[in-house]
């Protein structure tokens, strides 16, 4: 799930300029060291690249490779369905009803992932 979150965050930035690493860290809510390790694993699998940003050569800008883009697109439907199903199941458990309602209330749903 963490890898998909990073791929999705990078995919969302594809239409404009890519995010800097600190922006990616904020988007995926992981520690800087966790994102660095995760990026290294994704880079080893040739799903992402890290290059110097064109706007500021001191910064690193990660980007999806064609394989990373294809994987993110391929995973969107199954991950969206898993999230939708999880919210349905959580809504049926008395101890998780309020959590499921809160998540739906902020718009985190299958539609938000797609």
Residue 85 and residue 59 share a domain:
no
pLDDT at 99: 84
pLDDT of residue 50: 86
pLDDT of residue 43: 95
Tell me the pTM: 0.69
Are residues 53 and 85 both part of a single domain?
A: no
Quote the pLDDT of residue 113: 40
CA distance 10 to 15: 10
Whether 61 and 35 map to the same domain: the answer is yes
49 and 78 co-located in one domain: no
- Residue 42, pLDDT score: 95
- Residue 94 is part of which domain span? 70-113
List b or e across 64-81, with b for residues whose CB sees 16 or more CB atoms inside 10 angstroms: bbeebbebbeebbeebbe
Say how far apart CA 39 and CA 48 lie, in whole Å: 7
Q: Which residues of the chain have pLDDT under 50?
A: 16, 109-114
Beta carbons of 42 and 7 less than 8 angstroms apart: yes
Provide the CATH number for the domain around residue 51. Answer: 1.10.10.10
What is the number of domains present in the chain? 2
Claim to verify: residue 51 and residue 25 sit in the same structural domain: yes
52 and 10 share one domain: yes
What is the predicted pLDDT for the residue at 14? 63
């Amino acid at each position: 799930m963490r890898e998909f979150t990073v791929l999705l965050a990078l995919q969302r930035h594809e239409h404009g300029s890519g995010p800097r690493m600190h922006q990616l860290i904020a988007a995926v809510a992981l520690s800087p060291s966790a994102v660095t390790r995760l990026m290294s694993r994704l880079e080893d699998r040739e799903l992402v690249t890290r290059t110097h940003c064109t706007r500021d050569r001191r910064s690193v800008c990660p980007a999806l490779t064609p394989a990373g883009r294809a994987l993110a697109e391929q995973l969107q439907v199954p991950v969206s369905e898993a999230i939708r199903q999880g919210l349905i199941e959580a809504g049926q458990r008395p101890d998780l009803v309020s959590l499921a309602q809160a998540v739906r209330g902020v718009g985190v749903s299958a539609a938000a992932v797609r």
